[in-house]
């Protein structure tokens, strides 16, 4: 394929992915009220029941919050589509024997993204207690719906993306871009970079989120080394 053909292919993949996100966002927009109520549960628990509801300070804030929830939800719901489009864009450069990994790649990507979102929700309660109590008794939390829900949504997306790490490594091993020996050699630096990555990408910046993201990524790294040995890469 020429450069122009690659760009045309990329445009088609992007259009399909964006369309899937828009459809997912429309579905989520219809369910924003129960989603807000669900997230409010975490806010109440973090304040020991003192917080009764979120607030908003501008006339358009409530609607903007619904739009943000729908957008993030659309990205999550469209995960199978945009991951498949990404894989289809990459596969023309692979050998036929490597293309057979398409379905396992897609399934693993979806499961790991969901697992990342689940870990983010597990992290949310201790993270909120840490953040809301960091100011001491002199500061009382009174959170707007926009900031709280944006934080939670970004945490879910950040953890979901971070948990795609083993898929990327496995793909590089399959494509012979890297080898098992290189992964073993880079182990120490990889741990340092993983913790730096987790410190940067976690939107809450609390220690709970950092460790609950970095530790699984380190385990994924070790798992990819074992996978590389099995595949003799």
Rounded Cα distance between 175 and 169, Å, is 10
* Structure confidence at residue 75 (pLDDT): 85
DSSP 8-state assignment for residue 91: G
The mean pLDDT of 68-82, rounded to a whole number, is: 85
C-alpha closest to that of 208 among 150, 111, 152, 131 = 131
* Structure confidence at residue 19 (pLDDT): 92
Report the domain count for the chain.
Answer: 1
* Structure confidence at residue 196 (pLDDT): 92
Phi, psi of 189 (to 5 degrees): -65, -35
* Structure confidence at residue 98 (pLDDT): 59
92's enclosing H/E stretch is none
Rounded Cα distance between 96 and 135, Å, is 58
Rounded Cα distance between 19 and 27, Å, is 13
The mean pLDDT of 195-222, rounded to a whole number, is: 88
Return the ∠ at Cα 220 (arms to 232 and 192), rounded to 5°. Answer: 110
Domain coverage including residue 122: 3-231
Report CA-CA distances (Å) from 49 to 46, 134, 178, 219, 221. 8, 18, 51, 36, 40
pLDDT tier for residue 193 given thresholds of 50, 70 and 90? very high
Asked if residue 43 lies in contact with residue 147, where contact means CB atoms within 8 angstroms, the answer is: no
Rounded Cα distance between 167 and 205, Å, is 25
Condensed to tens digits (0 to 9), the pLDDT of residues 89-99 reads 776 665 666 56
* Structure confidence at residue 3 (pLDDT): 66
Q: Cα 61 to chain center, whole Å?
A: 25
Highest mean pLDDT among 18-27, 44-53, 157-166: 18-27
Rounded Cα distance between 96 and 109, Å, is 21
Return the percentage of the chain with pLDDT > 90, whole number: 12
The mean pLDDT of 42-50, rounded to a whole number, is: 79
* Structure confidence at residue 139 (pLDDT): 74
With a cut of 70, say whether residue 122 has pLDDT above it. yes
Question: How many other C-beta atoms are found inside a 10 Å radius of the C-beta of residue 188?
Answer: 8
Rounded Cα distance between 162 and 201, Å, is 9
31's enclosing H/E stretch is none
The mean pLDDT of 51-57, rounded to a whole number, is: 79
DSSP 8-state assignment for residue 141: -
Rounded Cα distance between 56 and 128, Å, is 19
Q: Cα 150 to chain center, whole Å?
A: 14
Condensed to tens digits (0 to 9), the pLDDT of residues 210-231 reads 899 999 999 998 888 888 888 7
Longest dimension (CA), the chain: 64
Beta bridge partners, 55, equal 144
């Amino acid at each position: 394929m020429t450069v122009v053909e690659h760009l045309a292919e990329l445009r088609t993949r992007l259009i399909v992915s964006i369309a899937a996100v828009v459809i997912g966002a429309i579905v989520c927009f219809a369910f924003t009220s129960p989603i807000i109520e669900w997230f409010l549960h975490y806010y109440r628990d973090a304040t020991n029941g003192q917080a009764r509801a979120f607030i908003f300070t501008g006339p358009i804030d409530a609607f903007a919050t619904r739009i943000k929830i729908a957008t993030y939800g659309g990205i999550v719901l469209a995960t199978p589509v945009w991951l498949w489009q990404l894989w289809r864009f990459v596969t023309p450069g692979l050998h036929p024997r490597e293309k057979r990994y398409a379905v396992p790649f897609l399934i693993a990507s979806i499961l790991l993204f969901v697992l990342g979102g689940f870990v983010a929700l597990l992290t949310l309660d201790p993270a909120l207690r840490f953040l809301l109590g960091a100011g001491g008794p002199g500061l009382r939390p009174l959170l707007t719906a926009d900031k709280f829900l944006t934080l939670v949504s970004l945490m879910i997306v950040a953890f979901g993306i971070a948990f795609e790490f083993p898929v990327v490594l496995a793909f590089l091993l399959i494509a012979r871009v890297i080898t098992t020996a290189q992964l073993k050699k880079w182990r120490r630096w990889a741990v340092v970079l993983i913790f730096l990555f987790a410190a940067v990408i976690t939107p809450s910046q609390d220690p709970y989120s950092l460790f609950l993201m970095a530790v699984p990524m380190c385990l994924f790294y070790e798992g990819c080394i074992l996978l590389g040995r099995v595949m003799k890469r």
